[in-house]
Chains A and B, each alone.
Chain A
């Protein structure tokens, strides 16, 4: 079955089997290996991407269901070499170690900030409940999301990922 999708700003048209999971389409057909797989039961959220501006677990969607949709992956966030504020905040706050949950965690964080531009700690924790991390104990991730919120335009909405002009110095060294 032929599908047409826009991924990270580029349009693709491919023949896919109806059973092909979106995450496998992204990784194996398009080579977008920044999005990774951590489980087989839709629990871990490592495969989270944005579908029409909202986060989805791409292991729990068929590629054919994404036909006609716009998808953003971790690889499409940075613009002109400039990190998205959430990417920058993850680095500044030491919110990643092995880096495996990071792509999904960042995509989910952006979605969370679009819904709630200024979440308190509890709101961040609730918003990230669908994303497992085995390295960080979550604390620096929570800190990074709140730090990113401070550096993003309030009310940016689902288009928050479009920000690119936000140039700033690192605001924290690993949650000091």
Chain B
């Protein structure tokens, strides 16, 4: 009972095919929607002729941007206070953009009808290369905004510029490197979709939808569509993976709602894979210029970064309002340095919106990749061992809580212990000896080290909100008369096992078996308000709320028990599952007995209402800062450029582990993501803005063949401010592993004089780098 390895409750339905995903939802009279998309990256819309589609015998409605404009819905607000076209009216701004929406009796007819819509486009020059977006002669993408004359979105900076410049000016060694974290996509196996059902009689709108943040969606629908919030019910059923892809609101969702309002019938919209890759939230796309200053013997002193962020045609990035570059500010990583400064500039390009997704923890993937590459670049220049260089510069345990030079307060950590464990697990010294021998034989073997610090659990409402909604999260716990319980959460699992682990938290606090606790999530009519699951924030925020409600219930139970036992509450002591009289352990009442009594005619002290329930909105005092040491070992075929990951060791420290089995599964999945990004995944574009990664034929995901058997280790450094000492962990592996893989490949290529090459390190990219001709991976033509 409580914390520890426990099989998942949710498996029962999933292994039998009895999950309930959005596309499984069928309602009486349900119609099917399909989206017509732009073939151009940038083009004026001269006319749209929908007459032939409307004449199709199975078509019930064809919706265009013009029709939406009449409802004031042609544009919708994004999570970054920009607007995004729901259906294009004036022009299209990326290939795959939504232009029209067909509602038909079945999904095949809806697709047929798309072919019958005639759109007359006048192609415009696109902005494809982010580095040219701010050129004076660059085409202006967002001419929908009056007076806008360029593609600039924002400038943001952090750290102490003057101090950083001073340290750099006096440094013995300065290493500089440009690097691209290419545009990738979270590609959850289930795409995005929704079933909207507007009941014309009651005026209530129910939306089954793939959302990681059902409550935030409900509020946004209310604000955007002008519907009263109590008349909107958002249901996020089982979700086939999210990975940040399912945080925002997509045009297809809005169109299904409008389609239901217009037809009076439920309307289902489910995108296909190409639509998912081409139009929903991408991740990364940071062009980074990094500089690192150190002494000759490898004491790191300062880091300076300039970033050009490609946000696509609409700034739809999902992040707390005051953080336009997310939490990139943690780019100083795990190191004790004197000064740091970063500048980020966001630009529009003719690509799909997004940016924050794919287990990035609000841009920490980029921050960690930057610092971990820069440390390796410095090691290359100093000809130092990269593990030794890290060990020399890691923060020490007695420095926590540590105030970083960019204003983040790391809660706890024992970094050297964790790095040592990883080095021991991988047999680092023996590997280096083997590598030396193999280098002498002309073979390319690489060992890559990465040490990361995450920052997850957004967050303190004073600093963090999304569109004005503070990032606190809720939990409600009710213990039934028979001692079984239901826990209602504002966060929303997409496979992370909340139905099991949150029951374990209650079990640990109350001594009720996790099997007797039902965890309810995803239905805004049934659950407390909160901002949902992303940024590894579930355990830090709702996990904390869950422990707090359980403790509130425990205190109520104490009063009930005191009435039952006719003693003062002060005379009672708790052991898991029961209150008993101090000094008389036999005189006690189990939580189950207390639950029944709480619902009975038992006389309770004045002011105690009876029953056994509690609610909590948890406003976290700080983020949690999990960390880890990852080491990757690769063999590179010098003739073909093929990289084989031979071994991967990952030691994660996320504080107290509620369920180690589930933590390990999270880490395995994240490591596969990181390997995929490092070696295979990219969404590239040609000079016309054609998307070259729009299907699984081109956008390559790792299979069972590319992934090695991951080897994990763990250390436990609890978060001091968290009620159960637990930190988030879901995104750690995705954050930490790309740098380990890339560092390994570049370590293998060191004898060829290769200092850096950009992800993905495909055979072609590695082969070119080894020949001394690295190329840009994000553009087909450079």
Q: Do A and B come from one complex?
A: yes
Given contacts A134-B241, A141-B704, contact A40 B274 (CB under 8 A): yes
Q: Say whether A134 contacts B272, CB under 8 Å.
A: no
List residues 645-679 of chain B with CB under 8 A from any CB of chain A. 660-662, 664-673
Q: Say whether A83 contacts B15, CB under 8 Å.
A: yes
Chain A residue at smallest Cβ distance from B5: A173
Chain A residue at smallest Cβ distance from B13: A99
Q: Say whether B240 contacts A99, CB under 8 Å.
A: yes
Q: Say whether A98 contacts B274, CB under 8 Å.
A: no
Chain A residue at smallest Cβ distance from B497: A97
- Chain B residues with CB under 8 Å of A100's CB are 19, 21, 188-190, 240-241, 495
**A24–B111 Cα gap in the complex (Å)?**
14
Q: Say whether A34 contacts B707, CB under 8 Å.
A: no
Q: Does A140 contact B (CB under 8 A)?
A: yes
- Chain A residues with CB under 8 Å of B673's CB are 134
Of A75, A106, A133, most buried by chain B (CB within 10 Å of CB) is A133
The smallest beta-carbon distance between A29 and chain B, in angstroms, is: 11
Q: What per-residue 1/0 map shows which CB atoms of B701-739 lie under 8 Å from chain A?
A: 101110101100000000000000000000000000000
Chain B residue at smallest Cβ distance from A127: B704
Q: Say whether A174 contacts B241, CB under 8 Å.
A: no
A41-49, A50-58, A61-69, A151-159 - the one binding chain B:
A41-49
Q: Does A129 contact B (CB under 8 A)?
A: yes
List residues 124-149 of chain A with CB under 8 A from any CB of chain B. 124-126, 128-142
Q: Say whether B701 contacts A40, CB under 8 Å.
A: no
- Chain B residues with CB under 8 Å of A33's CB are 17, 21, 23-24
Q: Does B243 contact A (CB under 8 A)?
A: yes
Q: Say whether A174 contacts B664, CB under 8 Å.
A: yes
The smallest beta-carbon distance between A142 and chain B, in angstroms, is: 7
Q: Say whether B671 contacts A74, CB under 8 Å.
A: no
Interface size class on chain A is 35 or more
The smallest beta-carbon distance between B163 and chain A, in angstroms, is: 42
Given contacts A94-B665, A102-B15, contact A134 B494 (CB under 8 A): no
Chain B contact residues, majority secondary structure: loop
- Chain A residues with CB under 8 Å of B495's CB are 96-100, 135
**A20–B240 Cα gap in the complex (Å)?**
24
Q: What per-residue 1/0 map shows which CB atoms of B211-226 lie under 8 Å from chain A?
A: 0000000000000000
Q: What per-residue 1/0 map shows which CB atoms of B252-294 lie under 8 Å from chain A?
A: 0000000000000000000011100000000000000000000
Q: Does B103 contact A (CB under 8 A)?
A: no
Q: What per-residue 1/0 map shows which CB atoms of B377-414 lie under 8 Å from chain A?
A: 00000000000000000000000000000000000000
- Chain B residues with CB under 8 Å of A28's CB are 106
- Chain A residues with CB under 8 Å of B438's CB are none
The smallest beta-carbon distance between B538 and chain A, in angstroms, is: 14
Q: Does A101 contact B (CB under 8 A)?
A: yes
Q: Say whether B662 contacts A36, CB under 8 Å.
A: no
Q: Does A103 contact B (CB under 8 A)?
A: yes
- Chain A residues with CB under 8 Å of B190's CB are 36, 38, 98, 100
**A136–B668 Cα gap in the complex (Å)?**
6
- Chain B residues with CB under 8 Å of A174's CB are 5, 7, 660-662, 664-665
Of A75, A97, A136, A170, most buried by chain B (CB within 10 Å of CB) is A97
Q: Does B427 contact A (CB under 8 A)?
A: no
Q: Does B297 contact A (CB under 8 A)?
A: no
- Chain A residues with CB under 8 Å of B17's CB are 32-35, 73-75, 103
Given contacts A98-B189, A99-B238, 18 further A-B contacts (CB under 8 A): A34-B19, A38-B240, A40-B695, A75-B18, A78-B16, A87-B16, A90-B15, A91-B12, A92-B7, A96-B8, A99-B15, A102-B15, A129-B704, A132-B701, A134-B673, A137-B668, A140-B665, A174-B661
A sample of 29 cross-chain residue pairs with beta-carbon separation below 8 angstroms, ordered by A number, consists of A19-B108, A20-B108, A27-B23, A34-B17, A37-B23, A39-B272, A40-B695, A44-B189, A73-B17, A74-B16, A74-B17, A75-B17, A94-B664, A96-B8, A97-B497, A97-B665, A98-B240, A98-B494, A99-B10, A100-B188, A101-B189, A132-B703, A134-B241, A136-B669, A137-B665, A137-B669, A137-B710, A138-B703, A174-B661
